[in-house]
């Protein structure tokens, strides 16, 4: 199939182009469409310091859209830390038109080659985080130099209240009930200070347990003001004790992106559980299809967070990830730096 690839590095550049409307129509029409491959995400993430998105679109000579990839370059901190943490993350891509497998493979191959070219000098490694079954394209990814890594996730249907309640574990039901009985509430942020209070809890979690870099508060302040997102806060005695930042897509899917809670403050109070329950309940009340946990670890590794997520009644899936190291010496150095970071924080 004869297709040409076009690159956009800024949302305004895309919006003023002839591809804007056709891309929006395409990105919403394919079955694998998702928030992280949409123009809305391109606009949102491009306004946040430390994130540099780009969009590749594949079209035929007649102007038909055949595929796209939206990726985000990320780094943390400044100086050498920023240099060694450069990475390209692609959530839920590529999107491909509904054609024969041979045609899909050809378009995917061209998009992957252009992605690799664009990543040269800008990222140390590339990671595709799959939101759907990409097994028919695994050979295409591997031929392009990517390595498949199994990675689990949970999808929670928000179809029917009785069914949702039935799928919840008895322990989760008890924790939700006891938290609400103690007076904990679920609500929206009312001020920037609410966002900063939420961020403070998240920052502590990442420093003490997650042991990975966290985006600066600008992401969450931008996120709060976006119509494409919801932030749910858990309050207890007037204080923010937890919360969750959730992208939403076409009133169909709500995603867990960042979540935290100050558990252990009071017996029977479970802010982390209540924060996770909040978007599930929201999806249920507003006619969403499902809640996406966006990851539950590697299947061959013990992962306490997976056990936590499993009790919310989701279906376990293993869509996996594709990874490629672009610069091996810097990758090894950056990995060593992360190990040191995890030990000293």
Whether 84 and 166 map to the same domain: the answer is: no
What mean pLDDT is predicted for residues 185-212? 93
Please, which pLDDT band fits residue 80 given cuts at 50, 70 and 90?
Answer: low
Whether 184 and 137 map to the same domain: the answer is: no
Whether 127 and 183 map to the same domain: the answer is: no
Whether 215 and 127 map to the same domain: the answer is: no
HEC string for the chain: CCEEEEEECCHHHHHCCCHHHHHHHHHHHCCCCCHHHCHHHHHHHHCCCCEEEEEEEEEECCCCEEEEEEEEEECCCCHHHHHHCCEEEEECCCEECCCCHHHHHHHHHHHHHHHHHHHCCCCCEEEEECCCCCHHHHHHHHHCCCEEECCCEEEEECCCHHHHHHHCCHHHHHHHHHHHHCCCEEECCCCHHHHHHHHHHHHHHHHHHHCCCCCCHHHHHHHHHCCCEEEEEEEECCEEEEEEEEEEECCCEEECCEEEECCCCCCCCCHHHHHHHHHHHHHHHCCCCEEECCCCCCCCCCCHHHHHHHCCCCEEECCCEEEEECCHHHHHHHHHHHHHHHHHC
Whether 171 and 301 map to the same domain: the answer is: yes
Whether 116 and 128 map to the same domain: the answer is: yes
Does the structure show a pLDDT above 50 at 30?
yes
pLDDT at 343: 44
Look up the pTM and report it: 0.91
pLDDT at 345: 43
What mean pLDDT is predicted for residues 187-212? 93
Supply the mean pLDDT for the chain.
91
Containing domain of residue 94, as a range?
Answer: 3-151+320-344
Whether 260 and 327 map to the same domain: the answer is: no
What mean pLDDT is predicted for residues 127-137? 97
* Number of domains making up the chain: 2
More confident residue, 41 or 340: 41
Whether 135 and 202 map to the same domain: the answer is: no
- Residue range 99-111, pLDDT digits in tens: 999 999 999 999 9
Percent of the chain with pLDDT strictly greater than 70:
92
What mean pLDDT is predicted for residues 80-85? 58
Whether 269 and 133 map to the same domain: the answer is: no
The CATH number of residue 162's host domain is 3.40.630.30
pLDDT at 63: 87
Does the structure show a pLDDT above 70 at 229?
yes
Whether 127 and 195 map to the same domain: the answer is: no
pLDDT at 244: 98
């Amino acid at each position: 199939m004869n297709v040409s690839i076009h690159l956009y590095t800024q949302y305004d550049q895309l919006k003023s182009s002839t591809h804007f409307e056709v891309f929006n129509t395409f990105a919403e029409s394919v079955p694998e469409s998702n928030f992280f491959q949409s123009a809305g995400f391109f606009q949102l993430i491009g306004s946040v310091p430390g994130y540099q998105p780009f969009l590749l679109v594949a079209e035929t000579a007649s102007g038909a859209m055949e595929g796209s990839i939206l990726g985000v370059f990320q780094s943390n901190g400044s100086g050498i830390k920023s240099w060694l943490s450069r990475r390209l993350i692609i959530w839920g891509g590529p999107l491909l038109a509904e054609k024969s497998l041979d045609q899909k493979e050809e378009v995917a191959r061209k998009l992957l080659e252009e992605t690799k070219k664009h990543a040269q000098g800008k990222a140390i490694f590339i990671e595709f985080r799959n939101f759907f079954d990409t097994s028919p394209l695994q050979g295409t990814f591997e031929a392009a130099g990517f390595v498949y890594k199994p990675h689990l996730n949970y999808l929670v249907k928000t179809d029917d209240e009785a069914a949702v309640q039935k799928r919840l574990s008895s322990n989760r039901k008890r924790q939700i009930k006891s938290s609400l009985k103690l007076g904990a509430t679920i609500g929206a942020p009312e001020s920037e200070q609410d966002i900063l209070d939420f961020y403070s809890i998240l920052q502590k979690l990442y420093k003490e347990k997650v042991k990975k870099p966290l985006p600066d508060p600008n992401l969450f302040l931008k996120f709060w003001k976006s119509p494409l997102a919801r932030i749910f806060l858990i309050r207890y005695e007037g204080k923010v004790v937890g919360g969750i930042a959730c992208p939403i897509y076409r009133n169909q899917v709500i995603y867990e992106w960042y979540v935290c809670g100050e558990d252990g403050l009071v017996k029977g109070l479970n802010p982390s559980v209540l924060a996770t329950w909040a978007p599930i309940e929201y999806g249920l009340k507003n006619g969403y299809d499902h809640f996406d946990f966006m990851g539950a670890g590697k299947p061959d590794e013990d992962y306490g967070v997976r056990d936590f997520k499993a009790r919310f009644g989701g279906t376990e899936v293993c869509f996996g990830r594709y990874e490629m190291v672009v610069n091996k010496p810097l990758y090894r150095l950056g990995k060593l730096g992360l190990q040191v970071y995890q030990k000293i924080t």
